[in-house]
Amino acid sequence: MKRLCLAIMAALMVGVLSLPAQEKVPLIVFDGQTKNFGKVYEGEILKHVFKFSNKGTATLEILKVEPS
């Protein structure tokens, strides 16, 4: 009985140790990805704020932003 318990404990330890560690990664989630301004006249100044949040488990770093 003692050997059986030791064997089960050893198997559980190997199983736990072999589980991959969950990697911490950032995950950016936008409320919306496009904005339609409709008909725009020359000279108008348009502005829109794209709201986003980090739903990941690591710090989100925004290193570069480019308009499309």
CB 45 within 8 A of CB 13: no
pLDDT given at position 63: 93
Average pLDDT over residues 31-42: 93
The residues, ordered by sequence, that sit 6+ positions from 48 with a Cβ below 8 Å of its Cβ are: 35, 37
Average pLDDT over residues 3-9: 63
Count of Cβ atoms closer than 10 Å to residue 16 Cβ: 8
Average pLDDT over residues 13-42: 81
List the single range of 5-9, 49-53, 58-62 with lowest mean pLDDT: 5-9
pLDDT given at position 62: 92
